[in-house]
A = this chain, B = another copy of it.
């Protein structure tokens, strides 16, 4: 009793939201920390193994490569077996889910386990893979599972669908937030990446949960004696009084633009690799059969190239991502001769300094090699993201630019008075933000770097570079996530690009489908049957009548199917059969099942899909379904099984034989078929049917811009186009997508949509609309109106125009 009262008190006072968000934050922080711990352990183990075998180069090589190959192969295999949905980043899928699409099996416990374990192994291998994308998915999984749990414990509110979306969007923020210990950047990044329209009232949820999560995540590190107090993950120590010179800004801008091109290239490269493998049929076939070969080969290649005594010595191959990033954000200048000896104080920095090779060469090699390696590695079928590798490449590229600047201006640019040398670490920060911003098409990477480095002094260069990188990348390629959405063919709605102003000129009437499938209030069951057999639409429009075409609502396919199966239900068949028996005075042995009101099995209406030999089938099914023990037979009668075994092969003769064994006279079989035919001719009774009385309606004149806004705001799948209440067309996501992409080609050349030119020649649409209305009036008034069809005195031109516009 006390527990339940306490529980009620908690709900009413604290609110489930808070409890939910705290639990989510706590859980995710723990998962993140444990995962980081496991990854660090894996990487230490590899280093230990590699370090212990330094006597024999071959053994060392085998140790160096076998470790990642085993881990990646295990990760790929484990994910494949347990839940293939866990493969990849997860952000594209979350974007689709938050758009309102239900992706099957995407938020289950199995996927959670597969994702967490698969991700830990993948990252532990030391491949250039990221944690952040998958972490968004893990957080969403956590939220979905927690929601289910809370619904079981507290009941009620957690079953609401809107609510779930709100919680999922908070979860995405938590995912990024506790991965980078960056609450603000996490919230903003998740908004930019997953939402089209964002409800500001959900804002606090994300902030609260992400802050709590980041706090716990960092507190765990303090408790574990890793840190003295809570600070940033990659703390920098740039000078505060003069972070950068105003005259360095052009260099930052050029860095941003270069990162923009680099980001677009990365996305292109990534897509190219996937598409190339798909198109090459031999490769494709081979890969489909041996799913683990591809990741193993890729891992082998990458780890061979990074082998420290081999090529890896020229590209700091022995460092993990974390170590590389710490070195790159260092506030000293590497290229200067005088301070080279300082290099030795941390072993990480030593990796960048090759005795024979310039530090510039090392940086260039690192950038170029990691670039294609990351693009290839992220195509492996393991849970992995691309954010962190890209971030690292950006940092290396930025450091390269910074070192070049430092060589060119050894005493800084500033003219007057004191000397402020250039800080190459600042360039590394700017480059990291710009490249990751370009690849993901986000601006909030700027905030993420501030939170990651714990310094905001370079805010202006970072913002300038990120915005320029975004402008360039968005003009050339979709974002990495949108690219994956297209590759995976997930349902999506493309963004209206910047400055595509002709969008304002396209109207719904240019893109809508005019041949709408509809049912009327007078439709018979036979019409229904035909409609269901010929089309595959999920919802059908209900209009008043074929003449008036006034839209009354829409009905889901499932509803219609159950209506149809209700009409020909076992119950009613039995009823008819009994009546038949009473009329004939025989067949009293038929089971009196009427009182037993078992609901008709859900598989009955699937029979409708196969239409051959319908009367024979009907007869068979009729009899089968009237049998008391028929449920077993019925259950296995899915269309695929019925067609070959019963319907197609069974001729009339055979079925008669079978029917005779059931002791039903042949004469009644005909009667039954007749009865069914009669039933189908009856008008549909919509009484028991759930109708959506207000499906979303647009007008023919609605602009594409507005349509796009409404579709993305409300997460619509389709909308009916009406004119004065009359149904004239339908627009679905498909048409909208075509319309938007048809006029926006990748190269940036704008193509005028074919129908847009019609409108320029005059206001024909208005006239037609008016005519339609006029007709409607006439229809309603009979002959009362045409008394003055052409009034001699037309209204003043000015007013007339005003009314029509």
Contact = CB atoms under 8 A, between A and B. Distances in A.
A552 B548 CA distance: 12
A66 interface: no
Contact of A192 (B200, B242, B600, B692): B200
Contact of A774 (B200, B455, B457, B687): B687
B447 A184 contact: yes
Interface residues of A, number: 135
Contacts of A496: 201
A552 B597 contact: no
B204 A470 contact: yes
B230 A691 contact: no
7 contacts: A15-B499, A160-B705, A192-B200, A207-B443, A229-B243, A456-B456, A689-B803
Contacts of A16: 499, 501
B796 A724 contact: no
A522 interface: yes
A783 interface: no
Nearest to A464: B211
A320 interface: no
Given A228-B242, A694-B699, A797 B597 contact: yes
A709 B207 CA distance: 21
Contact of A199 (B197, B599, B687): B197
A367 interface: no
Interface string A621-662: 000000000000000000000000000000000000000000
A716 to B, nearest CB: 12
Interface stretch (A27-35, A276-284, A568-576): A568-576
Interface stretch (A106-114, A215-223, A422-430): A215-223
B467 A724 contact: no
Contacts of A777: 521, 683, 685-687
A731 interface: no
Interface in A762-801: 769-770, 773-774, 776-777, 780-781, 784-785, 792-793, 795-800
Contacts of A769: 693
Contact of A501 (B156, B447, B501, B776): B156
A774 B691 CA distance: 12
A229 B245 contact: yes
A688 interface: yes
A409 interface: no
A459 B797 CA distance: 66
Interface of A: 15-18, 156-157, 160, 162-163, 183-184, 188, 191-192, 195-201, 203-204, 207-208, 211, 214-215, 218-219, 222, 228-232, 235, 237, 240-246, 414, 443, 446-447, 450-451, 454-457, 459-460, 463-464, 467, 470, 495-496, 498-499, 501, 504, 521-522, 544-545, 550-553, 559, 562-563, 566, 569, 571-572, 575, 594, 597-600, 683, 685-694, 697-699, 702, 705-706, 709-710, 713-714, 722-725, 769-770, 773-774, 776-777, 780-781, 784-785, 792-793, 795-800, 802-805
B446 A184 contact: yes
Contacts of A544: 550, 725, 780
Contacts of A459: 183-184, 451, 454
Nearest to A14: B499
A330 to B, nearest CB: 15
Given A706-B162, A784-B683, A799-B562, A793 B600 contact: no
Contacts of A559: 803
B192 A792 contact: no
B780 A521 contact: yes
Contact of A722 (B499, B683, B694): B694
> Which interface residue of A464, A501, A559, A709 has the most chain B CB atoms within 10 A?
A501
Contacts of A600: 796, 799
A680 B199 CA distance: 50
A793 B577 CA distance: 13
Given A244-B229, A521-B777, A522-B780, A693 B204 contact: no
Nearest to A161: B706
A498 B15 contact: yes
Given A197-B197, A203-B443, A784-B683, A566 B229 contact: no
Contacts of A797: 597, 599
Contact of A693 (B237, B724, B781, B784): B724
A687 B191 contact: no
A575 B157 contact: no
Nearest to A702: B694
A752 B231 CA distance: 47
Contacts of A802: 562
A694 B686 contact: no
B463 A211 contact: yes
B196 A197 contact: no
B693 A504 contact: no
Contacts of A214: 460
Given A230-B460, A521-B777, A569-B796, 4 more contacts: A196-B200, A204-B470, A218-B460, A521-B780
